[in-house]
Chains A and B, each alone.
Chain A
Amino acid sequence: MPRPSQSQSQRSSTADRPNATQEVDEAHLITCMVKTILNLSINKSIIKRSDISHIALKGDSRLYTRLMPEVLFELESVYGYQLVDVESKGQKAMILCSTFETSSLDELSESYRRRYTFLFLILGYIFMKNGAVPEALLWDFLHSVGIEEQQEHECFGDPRKQFELFIKQAYLTRTKQSVEGMPEESVFLSWGVRAKHEVSKKAVLDAICKLMNRKPTDFKTQYIETQAETSESVEDDMDESE
């Protein structure tokens, strides 16, 4: 079991001294919250509000609400990260996303690059299928490009494991939908909250087109969506520079 961090034991001695200034305490707690969020997000997984409270604030939820605006400010202004809410079994949960997209693959390490390529294939396929696709069909598609669900791939490793990781990281999301003519609900895959925030539709469309040797404009619906995306981000940039 991991040992509590040094900052936690420091904090308990500060709390015992009644004349410690509140300002210094709050700055320290904000630092703890930021560090906790960063540490829990190293592998991009979904983090729970209760975890942050428990680890950084010793469970004090009033403090959480009061300090969070400053925490969000630090995450955005220093790191360019934002916390995005995600649905997680009724609990308050979120993911740490970048406020801008990773466009250049140079920024990524070799293992990240491979994972992103695999991810783009999946996201691209879903995008071309207008946003939602039965899970079984996805594996059929991957099989057609040489990726087998149960076999180790020389470039992408264990596809099933990587796929489940993408779900954990909120790049992909599973929803149950009832399909006409089918007795049970089917599991559909769509872009997760993280993909919607971090992945550019244009980049994905470009990647798919490269794979299929086609032009982006060949896919009207998708192309129009990417154009809408560009004008959205131009507006965001304009807002930022004010």
Chain B
Amino acid sequence: MSENVSYTNVHRAFLQACSNHGTLSTSQAFNMYVAICAQHDDSHSIPSEADLASVIEAINERIYRFDQKIALVHYDPTDMDFYVFVSLQESPIDLQQNVFTAPELHFFRVLLRELALSEDHTLALIACLNLTNDTASEGMKPLAKTRAEQLLQEWEQLGYFLTLDDKCYLGPKAVVEFEKYISRNYADVVTRCCLCNVTIFYGVKCASCPQILHKDCMKKYLRRLTNCPACKTLWSVPL
């Protein structure tokens, strides 16, 4: 625990905002940090990105105990970096919660399942909405399509899914929070990036072999070496 760094309302306000948003782009996060400093920081020093990094580090030290973390991830589909507020041990889906009803949670799990099983881990938006047919159970009506649309929007805001060109992707928050869940339950259809060993859904594909790798992992790797880490042929795909 870093004793000489004080933990102030700047930390608390940023933590609250992070958990409310679920997912923040790095620029959103920094703008928010500046606004929070304006409100809470009495020293009125100009905030820098390095300051934000150490604020997040201090927050993570304290929320680790509650199985939470603010993680910085590179999201390959949009080639952007995001701060994601995650609950580490279990997903919010499995914990006691009172936000979504049982059919709505079921719809979420069905979406996860279909995205995990699809080869490129995307699903046409129309197909997503049709998945509501799967949510009928024990004589209860299936989820209405309008409600499904609303839910998808809500979940996209939080970072669980992303819609791009009428296709649905796993969002940055789902990629981090559900990595273990998906690799456990769908082990035979998901692969790992052979450089970082984390389950990979989206990335760059080698021109000569079926391997996909995280763009960030490949960038670091290509600083020292020039071949595909899996098939060893010369790497030709521009990053």
How far is B13's CA from A51's CA once the two chains are assembled, in angstroms? 27
**Cβ–Cβ contact B90 & A107, under 8 A:** no
How far is B154's CA from A99's CA once the two chains are assembled, in angstroms? 26
Q: Which residues of A contact B12 (CB under 8 A)?
A: 78-80, 99-100
Interface stretch of the complex, out of B31-39, B46-54, B190-198: B31-39
Nearest CB of A to B226, in Å? 43
Asked whether B136 is an interface residue with its Cβ less than 8 Å from the other chain, the reply is no
**Cβ–Cβ contact B157 & A111, under 8 A:** yes
**Cβ–Cβ contact B90 & A106, under 8 A:** no
Q: Of all chain A residues, which has the CB nearest B65?
A: A31
Q: Which residues of B contact A34 (CB under 8 A)?
A: 66
With A5-B90, A110-B157 given, is the CB distance from A100 to B95 under 8 Å?
A: no
Nearest CB of A to B39, in Å? 6
Q: Which residues of B contact A108 (CB under 8 A)?
A: 17, 20
With A2-B94, A35-B67 given, is the CB distance from A79 to B35 under 8 Å?
A: no
**Cβ–Cβ contact B96 & A111, under 8 A:** no
Asked whether B1 is an interface residue with its Cβ less than 8 Å from the other chain, the reply is no
Q: Of all chain A residues, which has the CB nearest B23?
A: A109
**Cβ–Cβ contact A1 & B102, under 8 A:** yes
Asked whether B121 is an interface residue with its Cβ less than 8 Å from the other chain, the reply is no
How far is B98's CA from A1's CA once the two chains are assembled, in angstroms? 11
Nearest CB of B to A37, in Å? 10
How far is B94's CA from A135's CA once the two chains are assembled, in angstroms? 39
Asked whether A55 is an interface residue with its Cβ less than 8 Å from the other chain, the reply is yes
Contact of B97 among A2, A6, A31, A110 (CB under 8 A): A2
Contact of B32 among A36, A80, A100, A107 (CB under 8 A): A107
**Cβ–Cβ contact A106 & B95, under 8 A:** no
Closest 8 CB pairs of A and B: A80-B12, A104-B35, A107-B17, A106-B35, A78-B62, A43-B99, A5-B95, A109-B21
**Cβ–Cβ contact A38 & B154, under 8 A:** no
Q: From residue 89 to 137 of chain B, which have CB atoms closer than 8 A to chain A?
A: 89-90, 92, 94-99, 102, 105
Identify 7 new A-B residue pairs, CB closer than 8 A, beyond the known A78-B63, A110-B157, A112-B20.
Answer: A2-B102, A5-B94, A43-B98, A79-B15, A104-B35, A104-B36, A111-B157
Q: Which residues of B contact A2 (CB under 8 A)?
A: 94-97, 102, 105
How far is B12's CA from A81's CA once the two chains are assembled, in angstroms? 9
Q: From residue 1 to 59 of chain A, which have CB atoms closer than 8 A to chain B?
A: 1-3, 5-7, 31, 34-36, 38-40, 42-43, 45, 55
